[in-house]
Structure 1
Amino acid sequence: MTEYNAKAAIMVAASPVICHDTFAKPERLTRFWFPRVSGPIRPGADLEWYMGEEKDAQCIPVTIDDAFPGDSIDMRWGSGETETHVSWTFTEKGPHTEIKVVESGFKGSEDDKMTRALTQTAVLNQVLVAAKAQIEHDVDINVIEDRAAG
């Protein structure tokens, strides 16, 4: 069986700590990704990330396995057959930070795993571009609220 991973990376003109905080702090994360989250990213946290502001918005369970400010975040999200592992790294490269994300552990048939990995690669790239816009230009591009129905 083939292991399929979703991968994305981007260079951002900011320190690793600022880049990490953009994902770890709810007041930053909700500006460009999930519009509602139950708390900050910290080791051992069990969180809920919502696809909308509404009371009945779809909820994604998130468990933070590890988080090191300015360095990395390791988490699991989803549940049952949809649960995957997501690893974020924040690496200083001169005046920039390289943000890398890898999502792994897709389940199902070979076709299902490949489709999910490809879809998530696109989603993660959108998230990184939106984070870069917020960090570098203070522009909010919310990839969930602004997405077109497909």
Structure 2
Amino acid sequence: MMIRKPAATVFQAFIDPAFTTKFWFTESSGPLEAGKTITWRWEMYDVSDNIKVKEIIPNQKITIEWDAPATTVDFEFTTLTEDTTYVVIKNYGFSQTGDDLIEAIKNNTSGFTTVLDGLKAYLEFGVELNLVRDKFPHIRHK
């Protein structure tokens, strides 16, 4: 997804939970730092996940590892112009096979697309669309 903001701004939106909570999770135990484990929480679904921060290359790449299910995610930031950034999210290392793998890939692709859509709306227009918060209203806890 192309975001009409500089790479440093887009990168910071994933590093700093003060921004990330506007378009993705609702709570974080802290900013992303290489070598640290951070807990992300989605209060409305009563779900949390521990995130191991594997690598950070400022304004270029963030690599994390989820704990449940254990997969790796790369967030890659490519400067297109001074004011535009292309973000690619790669999720790999799935343990499933066959139809279960296809279902996991579909679900994760859909989820990360929703995150990017919310990021774009928030950074470009200052609008919180609540896409993640409203994605599954039938299982909402709060």
TM-score, with structure 2 as normaliser = 0.90
The 2-side partners of 1:25 and 1:85 are apart by 20
The 2-side partners of 1:86 and 1:66 are apart by 11
For the structure 1 residues 69 and 142, does the alpha-carbon distance in structure 2 shift closer, same or farther, using more than 3 Å as the test? Answer: farther
Structure 2 counterpart of 1:148: 136
Residue-pair matches, total: 137
Query: Is structure 2 residue 15 aligned with structure 1 residue 24?
Result: yes
Which residue, 65, 71, 85 being the options, matches 1:84? 71
Q: How does 1:37-52 map to 2 (within 5 A)?
A: 37-52=28-43
The 1-side partners of 2:16 and 2:40 are apart by 13
Task: Report sequence identity in percent.
Answer: 24
Q: Which has the higher contact order (CA 8 A, sep 6+)?
A: 1
The 2-side partners of 1:42 and 1:143 are apart by 26
Residue type matched to 2:113 in 1? N
**Secondary structure at 1:145's aligned position in 2?**
helix
Query: Is structure 2 residue 50 aligned with structure 1 residue 66?
Result: no
In angstroms, what is the RMSD of aligned CA positions? 1.5
Q: 2:21, 2:27 within 8 Å by CA — same for their partners in 1?
A: yes
The 2-side partners of 1:16 and 1:35 are apart by 23
Which sections of structure 2, spanning at least 5 residues, go unmatched?
none
The 2-side partners of 1:149 and 1:84 are apart by 26
Query: Is structure 2 residue 124 aligned with structure 1 residue 136?
Result: yes
